[in-house]
Chains A and B, each alone.
Chain A
């Protein structure tokens, strides 16, 4: 029983990390349609920000975290300006932006590898180790609640929704598409950066940590459905529980557990590509 409880807390904590990455995707996909695989590298940048400020310069955690998130907003903004806006303005197909962001993915990763070397770097935990998982869960819930309120209760959130439904109509209504796009990238980068910061005490900051996170987050998004914010959370938790339950109970070598989310991803893409939760009409 105790075993099951421990497993649940641990799965919930990694599920929350996936959920944050899924949220980062979702924030950008909904208004722009762009699947940005660089979210994993953003998480890595967040983790290295944590290493720099919290480990190296020993800032207090809250201050360091705020600075990292602020920096991530800037990273998102710059990414959009470089790799997305010029293409949107030229009327290039969506695919061009997605491919340019793949180029940025490599630039981020190699840039970090160049600056910090190939070795993993320790990032301190915000609270003592036994409460770390609860902290991750709590922080994620706060973020999801805030994003949910933003979409449901604020005018800006409605603007995002309108753009998600119909770009042309939204533009006619006087919604500034460029601002919504920039905001979605900044917000996506902050969500991904937070995921990186929160996962780093366990995994360390490492320049190759991005792509696995990007894929797990994506799986969570596909399972939960792109239509609703709650879907990202649900999807993240499902992926993590599936993973950990397989490791614990299935008669398979533990390495195969990594394959579970991938099989889930393929299965959902083939059987139910809209995900579990559908967009509200």
Chain B
């Protein structure tokens, strides 16, 4: 009961922030929250489950496009469109994950790299369905029970998405499923000997996190009210990886720190080096891997860790 109150308080507090922000800062805040949601689920995939995949941002895009296409091209009602979007993400995730996880090594990384690129090709060439290079524009979130959710109220929807993602992943991480994922990451042979079905654990983790990315994408679709190919390029798949590694992979706090830092850094850096902030990201990535493999959150760990019994 107390923890439920905590979640509600967090939701109210984080949503309240939006009511004090002007339009531009509200937009920045919304995107920061979306990056945190993505970094959290990518951390579960990469950091906790140990799967190197480049498809996470593509699933964000698949979710965004899917919900818009289902709503406005096929005229589905909102709940059905969301459900159909989830099904599309699950189906694609399963098609990629089931064969890839049978194989050792970096096959998943390569197959998902190809998937991410293929997604962009399909978006560009999808004609009227995807809107081609221009994407899809001029739509808005349908009314829910006669109400149009806009402005800071929509930011509250994003807050609920982030907190829901976090609560779910934290619960999983602390359960036998999270331990199985870590075991598979650390030593698949020993994990199997402990009764863990390695292939199934990987497929479930991949599909679940991909669907979470897809749901975040559905929410994003009504932030800018446009979806177009450049938004979902491979660049952002790399950025997501950098966020998790620089923040500290395998830790929820690490993913949050990484997402906040790498999302806000360009605002600080752009007066200095224009749009070349990626140079700093790349260098930071190399330095962190070389000097602080546990990421920035690893620096914090040097303090006494009496509370870490959990």
Using a CB–CB cutoff of 8 Å, the interface residues on chain A facing chain B are: 35, 82-83, 86-87, 92, 95-96, 98-100, 102-107, 109-111, 113-114, 211, 215, 218-219, 222, 253, 255-256, 258-259, 262-263, 265-266, 269-270, 273
B contact residues around A103 at 8 Å (CB): 242, 281-286, 289
The digit string for B274-291, where 1 denotes a CB below 8 A from any CB of A, is: 001011011111100110
Check B234–A269 contact: CB distance below 8 A: no
> 24 A-B residue contacts at CB 8 Å?
A83-B289, A83-B290, A87-B290, A96-B293, A98-B52, A99-B245, A99-B289, A100-B286, A104-B282, A104-B286, A106-B278, A106-B282, A106-B285, A110-B276, A110-B279, A113-B276, A255-B125, A259-B122, A259-B125, A262-B121, A263-B114, A266-B115, A266-B118, A269-B111
A102 to B282, CA, bound (A): 8
Main secondary structure of the interface of B (DSSP, over half): helix
Q: Which 7 residue pairs across A and B have the least CB separation, nearest first?
A: A106-B282, A103-B285, A110-B279, A107-B282, A103-B286, A255-B125, A259-B121
A109 to B283, CA, bound (A): 12
State which of B68-76, B102-110, B302-310 sits at the interface with chain A: B102-110
Check B103–A273 contact: CB distance below 8 A: yes
B112, chain A: closest CB distance, angstroms: 10
A112 to B119, CA, bound (A): 27
Check A110–B278 contact: CB distance below 8 A: yes
Check A110–B282 contact: CB distance below 8 A: yes
Check B278–A35 contact: CB distance below 8 A: no
Q: Does B43 contact A (CB under 8 A)?
A: no
Check A269–B107 contact: CB distance below 8 A: yes
Using a CB–CB cutoff of 8 Å, the interface residues on chain B facing chain A are: 52, 96, 99-100, 103, 106-107, 109-111, 113-115, 117-118, 121-122, 124-125, 127, 234, 238, 241-242, 245, 273, 276, 278-279, 281-286, 289-290, 293
A258 to B273, CA, bound (A): 34
Of A95, A107, A263, A266, which is within 8 A of B52 by CB?
Answer: A95
A contact residues around B279 at 8 Å (CB): 106-107, 110-111, 114
A198, chain B: closest CB distance, angstroms: 23
* Chain B residue nearest to A118 in the complex (CB): B275
A269, chain B: closest CB distance, angstroms: 5
Check A218–B289 contact: CB distance below 8 A: no
B contact residues around A211 at 8 Å (CB): 234
A contact residues around B242 at 8 Å (CB): 103, 106
B246, chain A: closest CB distance, angstroms: 9
A contact residues around B278 at 8 Å (CB): 106, 109-110
